C-alpha cells in the first residue's frame, strides 16, 4: 500500500459586505489612517453587522462556497473541524451546528481553539485523521466574528480585528503531496498578555464583569508583538532547515495576518523575496482563525501542483508554529 499523505484539494471563503475603513475608525476613536497603516498594514476590515448572526454564519458561508466550487456531496464529508476563538455559544459546539447546516450529516464535528493559531493546529489535526487511513474527506473551517468581542472605544484593539471565514478540504494523496512537516508549540507564559478575562470558569459572568468590559479582548501589544516576531520567524526558519529547503525552494509563504511588520520579519528571516509573501491584511485585518484560509482563497489562482508552501502563525496563549505543505492541484 502506498503511503498516505494529507493534501488540500479545495478551498472556500466568505467575508461580510460591510467595510470598516480606517477613515471610519477615525470618527470613532482617537486614531488616523496613517498611524494604523504604518503600524499594522491594515486599511480596512469586514464586519458582520447582523446582530442575530454569529461565527457559524461565516463558517457555513465559507463551507458552502467550497462545496459549490469543488462540486462535492456534503454527505461524503467524514468530519468537520471548526477552528475558532469566537464560538457561537459555550458548550454547544459551533462545528456540530455548522456540519448539520451544510448537510454534512454523516460527519462528526467539533471545535478547536488555539486563538490565532487555531487553523494551523487544525491543519495538523485534519492531516492526522487523513493519514490514519480511517477518513477520506475532512473539512477544516476557520472562522471568527471578532467584532463580537472587540471594544470599539479601545483604539489598541478595534483597529486590528475583522470578521471572516475560510475552509479547506483535506483528502488522501498518494503522490507525496500535501502536508510534509510541522513544528507546533505553545507557552502558557502568554496567558495574561492577550485574553478575554471574564465569561469562563475562572471569572464567571456577572453584572460587574459586563460593566467593566471584561468580556472584550485586551492585549499587551508590545509584549505580543515581541513574542510573535521571534516565534513565528524561529518556527519558519526551523521548518526550512529540518526539510533542507532554501529560500529558492519555497514558492509561497502563507503567514497569519496579524501585523505587516510581523510578516515582514518572518519573511526576512527566511530570506524570501516580497513576491513570495502572500498578504491580504490591508483588506481584512486580523480575522484570527480565518486568516490562513482567506489567504489561500485569495491567491489560489497562483498555486501550481507541487508548489512548496510554508504556513506560519502566532496566537494568544501563547500558541504558534509552522507547517510545510506541497500544493496538490492546479486551479481549473
- Please count the helices (runs of H) and the strands (runs of E) in the chain: 10, 13
Catalytic-labelled residue, pool 158, 173, 231, 256? 256
Question: Active-site residue 116, yes or no?
Answer: yes
Helix (H) or strand (E) holding 310: strand 308-315
How far apart, in Å, are the Cα atoms of 154 and each of 25, 87, 159, 160? 11, 22, 9, 11
Question: Active-site residue 286, yes or no?
Answer: yes
Helix, strand, coil % (nearest 5) of the chain?
Answer: 35, 25, 40
Angle at alpha carbon of residue 237, lines to 164 and 274, rounded to 5°: 60
Nearest alpha carbon to residue 303 among 9, 6, 42: 9
Q: Where does residue 71 rank: exposed (0-12), middle (13-18), buried (19+ CB within 10 A)?
A: exposed
Distance CA 8, CA 171 (A): 7
| Helix locations, 194-259, DSSP H | 207-211, 221-242
Distance CA 315, CA 278 (A): 19
β-pairing, 79-83 with 108-112?
parallel
Distance CA 36, CA 14 (A): 24
Question: Active-site residue 256, yes or no?
Answer: yes
Catalytic-labelled residue, pool 116, 173, 231, 259? 116
Distance CA 61, CA 55 (A): 10
Catalytic-labelled residue, pool 22, 173, 231, 286? 286
Distance CA 147, CA 159 (A): 11
Q: Which residue pairs from 189-193 have beta carbons closer than 8 angstroms and sit at least 24 positions apart in sequence?
A: 189/318, 190/224, 190/227, 190/316, 190/317, 190/318, 191/317, 192/220, 193/219, 193/220, 193/223, 193/224, 193/227, 193/316, 193/318
Please identify every residue annotated as catalytic. Answer: 116, 256, 286
Amino acid at each position: 500500500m502506498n503511503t498516505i499523505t494529507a493534501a488540500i484539494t479545495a478551498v472556500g471563503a466568505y467575508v461580510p459586505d460591510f467595510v470598516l475603513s480606517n477613515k471610519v475608525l477615525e470618527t470613532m476613536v482617537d486614531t488616523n489612517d496613517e498611524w494604523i497603516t504604518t503600524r499594522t498594514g491594515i486599511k480596512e476590515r469586514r464586519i458582520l453587522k447582523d446582530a442575530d448572526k454569529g461565527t457559524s454564519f461565516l463558517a457555513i458561508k465559507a463551507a458552502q462556497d467550497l462545496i459549490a466550487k469543488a462540486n462535492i456531496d456534503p454527505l461524503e464529508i467524514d468530519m468537520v473541524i471548526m477552528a475558532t476563538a469566537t464560538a457561537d455559544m459555550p458548550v454547544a459546539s459551533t462545528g456540530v451546528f455548522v456540519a448539520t447546516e451544510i448537510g454534512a450529516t454523516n460527519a462528526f464535528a467539533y471545535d478547536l481553539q488555539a486563538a490565532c493559531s487555531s487553523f494551523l493546529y487544525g491543519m495538523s489535526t485534519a492531516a492526522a485523521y487523513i493519514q490514519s487511513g480511517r477518513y477520506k474527506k475532512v473539512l477544516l473551517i476557520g472562522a471568527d466574528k471578532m467584532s463580537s468581542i472587540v471594544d470599539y472605544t479601545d483604539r489598541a484593539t478595534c483597529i486590528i480585528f475583522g470578521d471572516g471565514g475560510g475552509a479547506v478540504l483535506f483528502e488522501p494523496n498518494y503522490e507525496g503531496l500535501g502536508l510534509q512537516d510541522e513544528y507546533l508549540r505553545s507557552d502558557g507564559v502568554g496567558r495574561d498578555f492577550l485574553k478575554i478575562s471574564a465569561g469562563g470558569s475562572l471569572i464567571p459572568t456577572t453584572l460587574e464583569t459586563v460593566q467593566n468590559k471584561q468580556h472584550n479582548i485586551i492585549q499587551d501589544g508590545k509584549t505580543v508583538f515581541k513574542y510573535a516576531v521571534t516565534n513565528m520567524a524561529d518556527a519558519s526558519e526551523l521548518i526550512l532547515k529540518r526539510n533542507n529547503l532554501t529560500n529558492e525552494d519555497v514558492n509561497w509563504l502563507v503567514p497569519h495576518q496579524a501585523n505587516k511588520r510581523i510578516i515582514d520579519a518572518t519573511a526576512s528571516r527566511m530570506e524570501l523575496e516580497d513576491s513570495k509573501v502572500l498578504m491580504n491584511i490591508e483588506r481584512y485585518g486580523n480575522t484570527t482563525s480565518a486568516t490562513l484560509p482567506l489567504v489561500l482563497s485569495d491567491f489560489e489562482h497562483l498555486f501550481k501542483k507541487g508548489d512548496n508552501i510554508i504556513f506560519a502563525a502566532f496566537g494568544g496563549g501563547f500558541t504558534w508554529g509552522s507547517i510545510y505543505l506541497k500544493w496538490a492541484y492546479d486551479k481549473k
